[in-house]
Chain A
Amino acid sequence: MLADPLLYARAVHFAATMLVAGVVLFVVFVAEPAWRGSGDGAVAGNVRRRLAVIAWIGFALALISGAAWLVLTAAAMGDQPAAQIFGDGVLWTVLSQTTFGRAWLVRLVLACALAATLPTLLSSRDHKSPWLEIIVALLAAAFAGALAWSGHAAGGLGDEAFIHPAADVLHLIAAAAWVGALLPLTVLFAAAGADDASLAMARTATTRFSILGIVSVGTLLVTGIVNTFYLVGSAPALLHTDYGRLLLIKIALFLLMVAIAAVNRFRLTAQLLQQGSIIASRDALRQLRRNAAIEALAGAIVIAIVAALGTMPPAIHAAHQHPTYGPVPADAAFVHIHLVEGMADVTIRPGRTGRARATIRLWNEDFEALNARQLSLTLTAPAAAVGNAYPAREGRDGAWQVDGIELSEPGNWTVTVEVVLDQTKRLTLTAPIVIEPAQ
């Protein structure tokens, strides 16, 4: 997985998008109101210049990585090498006819609009039109939020078709407002503290950032639970799949960031706001800056994990790659068949020509044993049109057994499991299974 270039394009693009949107949201909701109150033009000018550099670097990285992501995805969709998608019209088909491509076009337009308005937002003028600030903030939020249509949140049916993308849009905007704003916050802290005016400015900024942070963390928590519900779905899937475990690391890092933010909010901000001691305030400011940098680092790791999660099959259907049953015997033929309504593990032992015995275990999506009333197994030889059907009997351990199977020849057989669940529900699971020659 680490050799997949898409992983790196995604990681850079997520980080760059969060950074660009984070700078904008930070300037509009935290820094500009703090500067308006302080009247210290020198610090504001200094911070604006640095934030502009960060924003433009983020912008350039977002464009390059976004293009790479598009090319790699189009190549995968068209099942062609990346170099060929330009000539064959695949790239245009992706851009014009797929949800992913349209999202990319919309985001390109948003990026152009952002590029046109950023210089005014980050200019040295002290009084900016509130309309400009609102528009740029909306553009930045949309630029980050529209990433929701690039991955797992898209494609659901029914309620999920609305709830999942909506939750993901809010998740992305909240992440930009908090994680993307941490680097701008450290820049502001680094520039403040030399005199009373800049300390006052830092106090206002800290108070405002903590409000932005609380709103963002609350949004991340709620929308994160919604996303987990759709992509993982169960506690076993969370604990027993790569996707679930990686998500747990992400959640742990999120909790670490929240813990640091809580220290910032309840101890250091209180210390900073004490007007009495300049030394105590400066000390608090220094610690806040260090903590924000640590949080930003944890945030960068979270973004890298997000990039990886998007390339992995979500736990909700990857779970079967990590069986909860025992190991498959070396002399057995085994196949796992997966449908939404249920899955079957078919073990044929010995898995070679001659007489054999089959064991079938049924599970539902949550890895609970699936109760069936009746089960039959049909085995079709490689070239045969019609297979042999065997009724199975249920054993004490809940597994279904068929004895005396005749495997006439080696090769790619087809196994079909027909299950009667109740009077109205039936389930048919079919898959190929390889039978080895007799020893």
Chain B
Amino acid sequence: MQKILLFISLLLMPLAPIAAQAHAFLDHASPLVGSTVSAAPHEVVLTFTQNLEAAFSTAQVTDASGARVDGGKAQVSGNTMTVALKSIGPGSYKVHWHALSVDTHSTEGTFTFHVGGH
């Protein structure tokens, strides 16, 4: 059995370097995850590793007090999700996203970004 496993491993070894990913994970965001930006953004753009189902993918942005500061339903196009922001001031904001990949599996996560006062 070990020889078979070794054989299969060797067979698949050339496949090792790869950047593909199944299920939709957050690839990058604007504003960047954990970043501090000087000017308040008008929207948050989330880019995922897979295409999303618009009907079941959402994003909410809240301020430090937990109040919603996003403009409602997120727009989904391919693997990006864009949520508009109300006019916001300096402070810490939390983005909570829920992504349903086209492969039927859900993922979710949160991150914060900060708007600097100066």
CB 8 Å contact bits of B20-51 with A (1 = contact, 0 = none): 11111111000011110000000000000111
**A155 near B24 (CB under 8 angstroms)?**
yes
Q: Which of A190-198, A208-216, A226-234, A279-287 contacts B (4 or more CB under 8 A)?
A: A226-234
Across the interface, A99 reaches (CB within 8 A) one of B16, B53, B114, namely B53
Q: A residues within 8 A CB of B12? A: 225, 228, 232, 235, 238
Q: Which of B67-75, B81-89, B104-112 contacts A (4 or more CB under 8 A)?
A: B104-112
**A317 near B55 (CB under 8 angstroms)?**
no
**Interface: A251 (CB within 8 A):** yes
A320 to nearest B CB, angstroms?
Answer: 11
**B26 near A235 (CB under 8 angstroms)?**
no
Q: A residues within 8 A CB of B101? A: 154-155
Q: A114-162: which residues lie under 8 A (CB-CB) from chain B?
A: 150-157, 160-161
Across the interface, B53 reaches (CB within 8 A) one of A77, A380, A418, namely A77
CB 8 Å contact bits of A161-181 with B (1 = contact, 0 = none): 100000000000000000000
**Interface: A78 (CB within 8 A):** yes
**A316 near B20 (CB under 8 angstroms)?**
yes
**A230 near B22 (CB under 8 angstroms)?**
yes
Compute how far the CA of A365 lies from the CA of B13 in the bound complex, rounded to whole angstroms. Answer: 14
Compute how far the CA of A207 lies from the CA of B34 in the bound complex, rounded to whole angstroms. Answer: 64
**A428 near B18 (CB under 8 angstroms)?**
no
Across the interface, A235 reaches (CB within 8 A) one of B4, B9, B106, namely B9
**Interface: A73 (CB within 8 A):** yes
Compute how far the CA of A251 lies from the CA of B112 in the bound complex, rounded to whole angstroms. Answer: 43
**Interface: B79 (CB within 8 A):** yes
**B22 near A316 (CB under 8 angstroms)?**
yes
Compute how far the CA of A154 lies from the CA of B51 in the bound complex, rounded to whole angstroms. Answer: 9
A409 to nearest B CB, angstroms?
Answer: 17
**Interface: A314 (CB within 8 A):** yes
Across the interface, A430 reaches (CB within 8 A) one of B50, B91, B104, B111, namely B111
Closest B residue to A255 using CB positions: B4
Q: A233-273: which residues lie under 8 A (CB-CB) from chain B?
A: 233-235, 238-239, 248, 251-252, 255
Closest A residue to B103 using CB positions: A155
**B100 near A239 (CB under 8 angstroms)?**
no
Closest CB pairs A-B (n = 7): A155-B102, A155-B103, A385-B92, A155-B50, A314-B22, A416-B34, A233-B18
Q: A77-B53, A313-B22, A380-B112 are in contact. List 19 more A-B contacts (CB 8 A).
A: A100-B104, A155-B23, A155-B51, A155-B101, A156-B22, A225-B12, A229-B15, A229-B20, A234-B16, A238-B12, A239-B9, A248-B5, A317-B22, A339-B27, A340-B21, A340-B49, A366-B16, A385-B114, A428-B34
Q: List 30 A-B contacts (CB under 8 A).
A: A73-B104, A76-B106, A78-B56, A97-B53, A98-B53, A98-B55, A98-B104, A100-B102, A100-B104, A151-B104, A154-B103, A154-B104, A155-B102, A157-B51, A228-B15, A230-B22, A233-B16, A233-B20, A234-B17, A238-B12, A313-B22, A316-B22, A317-B25, A365-B19, A366-B18, A385-B64, A385-B92, A414-B112, A429-B33, A432-B110
Interface residues of chain A, those whose CB is within 8 Å of chain B, are 73, 76-78, 93-94, 97-100, 150-157, 160-161, 225, 228-235, 238-239, 248, 251-252, 255, 313-314, 316-317, 338-340, 365-366, 378, 380, 385-386, 414, 416, 418, 428-430, 432
